[in-house]
Amino acid sequence: MSVVAKPADHRRSKTRPSSKPWAGLAAIVALWSAFHGLALAEQDAWPAPLATAFASAVETEADRRENWRFLADAYTVDGPLALRFDGEHLDVENGWSLVSPSMDGLTAAQRTAYAEIISPDEDEDDAGGLFLATDAAELIGGEVRLLAETDTALTYTFTPYLGPEEMDVAIARNLIGQVSVRRDGSGLASIRLHAPERFRPHLVVRIDSFDLVMEFQRLDGLAAPVLRRLSSRIEGSAAFQDLDEVTEMTFSEVEYLGDTGRVSAND
């Protein structure tokens, strides 16, 4: 899976689907799983703190899921799921195991969510880990402006770039992008894409609510920030069917098994 910081196969988890997504909505429901291949952003014009924050991003192809071990908490409409991912055991359930509740205790909705999380990515060559990926920079299109600053962070606003296709452009023009950078030099803090109001990117598509947030943290000994929280909510209708897609996942007990050595940061 490709996205800003690809946590091995779980980004496709949609924990509360109320309808089958219409194919024309693929650009929306997959915003956080298909950002690769976009035009290069004009980083030369970025504010220095933002450019510096992205300088440590890891090339998409270099971040392999077998280099990671972590605990993931997924929040579903029927309650939380606790899962463990171990990149050294990809031959068993694609590296995933259920911590709680037990398999016998899962509701139908939880069982569906778990099946989606552990199912193999459609493009195995693109399945990656938790690092902030270079693809993230490609989201930032147009002018970057300082929105707010505190003692700890700088927040910039931008117009998202999702691609050249008509649907991509229609969606992007209705979204506001925000990116926050920590002032202590530890890199990117978060990326957010949201719609301030209802919009129609297509005649038969209505988006009532759109909010995507990715939060990152720098861990000692690692070259780039890692994803610690992912949340997404899309509400509306497509082809006259209701759409309600919710994703909420947090990551803890993160351990990197790659070339830099086994570095862990337990919460």
> Span 60-87, mean pLDDT?
88
Domain assignment of residue 215, given as a range: 10-265
Residue 3 forms part of a structural domain: no
Residue type at position 64: R
Provide, for the chain, the percentages of residues in helix, strand and coil under a 3-state DSSP scheme, each rounded to the nearest 5: 25, 40, 35
Residue 2 forms part of a structural domain: no
Residue 170 forms part of a structural domain: yes
What pTM was estimated for this model as a whole? 0.79
Residue 5 forms part of a structural domain: no
Locate tokens 């931008």: which residue?
A: 158
Residue 204 forms part of a structural domain: yes
Residue 41 forms part of a structural domain: yes
Report how far residue 219's alpha carbon sits from residue 240's, in angstroms, rounded to the nearest whole number. 45
Residue 4 forms part of a structural domain: no
Residue 1 forms part of a structural domain: no
As for how many domains the chain has, the answer is 1
Which tens digit of pLDDT belongs to each residue from 143-157?
A: 899 999 999 999 999
Which tens digit of pLDDT belongs to each residue from 21-36?
A: 333 333 344 444 444 4
CB 267 within 8 A of CB 78: no
